[in-house]
Amino acid sequence: MARNPRYDILFEPVKIGPVTAPNRFYQVPHASGMTNSLPRVRAAFRGTKAEGGWGVVCSGYCSIHPSSDDTPLPFARLWNDDDIRSHALATDAIHEHGALAGVELWHGGCAVMNRTSRIAPLSPSGISWASTHVGFMSNIHSRAMDKHDIRELISWQVGGARRAREAGYDIVYVYAGMGYLPYEFLLPDYNQRDDEYGGSIENRVRLVRQMIEATKDAVGTDCAVALRISVEELSKRPGTSLETEAHEVVSLLKDVPDLWDVKMDSSPTDCGPSRFAEEGSHEPVVNFVKTLTDAPVVGVGRFTSPDAMVSQVRRGVLDLIGAARPSIADPFLPSKIEQGREDEIRECIGCNICIASWHDCVPIRCTQNPTVGEEWRRGWHPERIAPKGSDARALVIGAGPAGLECARALGARGYDVTLADEKSEFGGRLLFEAKLPGLSAWMRVRDYRLGQLHNMANVELYKESALTADDALTFGFHHIVTATGGKWTRDLWKEAEVPGDALRHAKVFTPNNIETGVELAGKVAVFDFDFYYMGGVLAEKLARDGCDVTYVTPAGYASAWSIMSNELPLVHRRLRDLGVDIETLRRVTAFDGDMLSLADVYTGERFEHACDNLVIVGLRRPNDELARDLFARRDEWRDHGVMSVTAIGDAHAPGAIAHAVHSGRSYAEGLDQAPNVVPYKLDEPFASIVE
């Protein structure tokens, strides 16, 4: 199909200093969890995006010196020749498809703990970041930099820039954002110096200017130099000569960098989940930058709509459409727009499971795109899959996230597939969850896959088809896949920090009861030890429905695990705004229909709470009755031509939607393939042995 002419502007080249981006699609720097320890995994991941049409593909944050050590979080580095070799794999993979490669050189300042290097963190004035996230806490404080330290920092930036050029990068960054060291010099909260680097905005911007100028000298005419800067906090501070300090910083540096990469200050606002931030949410904060500089500007906003992208360019907000999460969800987003296939874009749902993976210190994963991180180690590709290995026919029972992805991938391989579900609508758990407050974008998981399935002649879809083991065995399929989901239990949380002792009472409910239409009223307690989104979003729903809601959890926060996905502060604000009472470090011990009994998880102190209804959001178990029935009749399989029965997704082990989708893809990739003892290739870093 031909490209829609109204999107032509997105495919115009953009000059960035001495280099030219082939189009306006710019994969901004983002952490991937694929560092120098996984050079081939990283190269394939970034190279796939270049293959998919991104005109610029950047690295994640890349340390310039051991005093910028983010261990155990997976950061890249450019410290020595082995690091150059490691990065060259990625730049070669990016250049192979005609894209520019960018590197985000980074010094974390007092925002890193230097756990491995054990070097005291650096800061402008000895003021440390006081994070409330245990992963970022430290009992060592930063030290104030003197003039020698500043000269050293600039020399580290220069060394990193020279190594970046040698590794093949086309765009080299100075990173003054997100609380990192150059950014710390911009804000008086951190910078209380009384020399030429502190005080006035002109002084506070001096270090950033010197780093950009030194970087330009280091790379010469081979590379462009970009400034990545957070402007959210600076925009809140009145300027002395211009509207805000953000305006003044941009004005003072307007002609210095070749590219402005503008962003927010903290992860919850910079990478806002769709539950709390719409597409293009950065615009009100960053839209002034292009009015003050002639250099091109790139920014993000979880852009998935080409019309929204065009609007940003035509209205003079951005020159380049930046993306992190959308480029993960669909590395081929630009190519699909260019080929007139924008209806096939695998749109980011903004769940932030990618960010949570980085916080987990592993290669990132994606709910929409199960091939992320698997490009090299398993050989998976977001748009291609190996042809079928036999003429076997497959029956997939259950059309939730796992079943949909399994059927789609099997169909793409060329197998004859039947997908059956007992409900009148496909989607499984998504049918309920996407109707909860803020989660409507999650239905994209279903819609993308159904769109693909409807175009496959070798796939048959059956709704309202509840199947028994007899049905499955006698239909003549060679492979049976049960993707029947999971169910919530009424188990309580015990002192040993394990679920158990189901609470049985007519006024005790689970999310499944809410899903089936049970309406609650009066005083409702939500007891959450699932710790992810469900407890918090149900409390929000019930409060919006008019209930008097108390949220109870044995954790120290509401939706405690959502700190990993950048949602935690936003959840707390939302619940407080809705009048939800939050009781942390409490466990439910009993409920009689009128009074809820609680105990402090550490002291055992007892509390009573008047309550009309209790919703328990804790343990989930597989809906595996069908699978167990089929396995119990294993002796009959051969008589019916059945070669395998496999449970996938929540029916195998309940988890996040990302786990279910990956499970579906994994089954489809492995069908008719010889099993490996180690299911994926093991990457190795480049490292010289130094005595």
The CATH number linked to 202 is 3.20.20.70
Which pLDDT score is estimated for 140?
Answer: 86
How many other CB atoms are there within 10 angstroms of residue 414's CB atom? 15
Average pLDDT over residues 651-655: 98
With beta carbons less than 8 A apart as the criterion, state whether 424 and 685 touch: no
Task: Note whether 162 and 279 are same-domain residues.
Answer: yes
Residue 690 pLDDT level (bands cut at 50, 70, 90): low
Q: Quick one: average pLDDT of 604-615?
A: 96
In this prediction, residue 139 carries a pLDDT of 83
Of the candidates 296, 173, 280, 182, the residue with the CA atom closest to the CA atom of residue 234: 182
Same domain, 548 and 640: no
Which residue stretches of 189-270 are H helix?
A: 201-204, 206-219, 232-235, 245-253, 267-270
Question: What's the whole-number average pLDDT of the chain?
Answer: 96
Same domain, 183 and 292: yes
Q: What is the mean pLDDT of residues 101-127?
A: 96
DSSP state at residue 276: T
pLDDT of residue 687: 80
Same-domain status, 333 and 411: no
pLDDT mean over 545-550: 98
Residues 493, 604, single domain; the answer is yes
- Mean pLDDT, residues 445-459 taken together: 98
Is residue 677 included in any domain, yes or no? no
Number of separate domains in the chain: 3
Average pLDDT value for residue range 445-471: 97
**How much is the average pLDDT of 33-52?**
97
Helix pair angle (81-95, 39-51), 10° resolution: 20
* Helix runs in 545-583, H state only: 568-577
Q: What is the DSSP letter of 556?
A: S
User: Do 294 and 155 lie in a common domain?
Assistant: yes
Q: Do 61 and 131 have their domain in common?
A: yes
**Residue 384 included in any domain:** no
Q: Is 116 a domain residue?
A: yes
Q: Is residue 513 classed as helix, strand or coil in its secondary structure? A: helix
Is there a domain that residue 680 lies in? no
Residue 339 in domain:
yes
Residue 180 is a catalytic residue: yes
625 pLDDT more than 80 = yes
Q: Residue 44: what pLDDT?
A: 98
What's the pLDDT tens digit per position in 132-159? Answer: 777 777 888 899 999 999 999 999 999 9
Domain housing 632: 393-485+623-670
What is the pLDDT confidence band of residue 434, given thresholds at 50, 70 and 90? very high
Tell me which of 169, 180, 190, 415 is the catalytic residue. 180
pTM, full prediction = 0.96
pLDDT digits (tens, 9 = 90+) for 411-422: 999 999 999 999
Please tell me which residue, 189 or 688, carries the higher pLDDT value: 189
The enclosing domain of 445 has a CATH number of: 3.40.50.720
548-552 and 523-528 strand pairing? parallel
| Residue 688: pLDDT over 80 | no
**Residue where one domain finishes, among candidates 558, 593, 621:** 621
DSSP annotation of 35 reads: -
CA distance 655 to 498: 17
> Could you tell me the pLDDT band of residue 513, with boundaries at 50, 70 and 90?
very high
User: Which of 337, 359, 381 is where one domain is finished?
Assistant: 359
pLDDT, one tens digit per residue, over 365-384 is: 999 999 999 999 999 999 99
Within this chain, do residues 192 and 241 fall inside the same structural domain, yes or no?
yes
Q: Inform me whether the pLDDT recorded for 27 exceeds 70.
A: yes
Tokens of 491: 């188990």
Q: Answer yes or no: do 163 and 292 share one domain.
A: yes
Q: Does residue 496 surpass a pLDDT of 90?
A: no
Within 10 angstroms of residue 499's Cβ, the number of other Cβ atoms is 18
Answer whether residue 601 shows pLDDT above 70: yes
Decide if 203 is inside a domain.
yes
Confidence at residue 689, expressed as pLDDT on a 0 to 100 scale? 57
- Label residue 346 by pLDDT band (50, 70, 90): very high
Q: Please check whether residue 374 lies inside any domain of the structure.
A: no
| The three-state (H, E, C) secondary structure of 163-204, written as one string | HHHHHCCCEEEEEECCCCHHHHHHCCCCCCCCCCCCCCHHHH
What is the CATH number for 554?
3.50.50.60
Residue 382 lies in a domain: no
Say if residue 606 is in the same domain as residue 520. yes
Express each pLDDT in 70-87 by its tens digit.
Answer: 999 999 999 999 999 999
Based on the fold, state whether residues 347 and 493 are members of the same structural domain: no
Predicted confidence (pLDDT) at residue 194 exceeds the cutoff of 80:
yes
> Where a domain ends, among 309, 338, 359?
359
Whether 193 and 240 map to the same domain: the answer is: yes
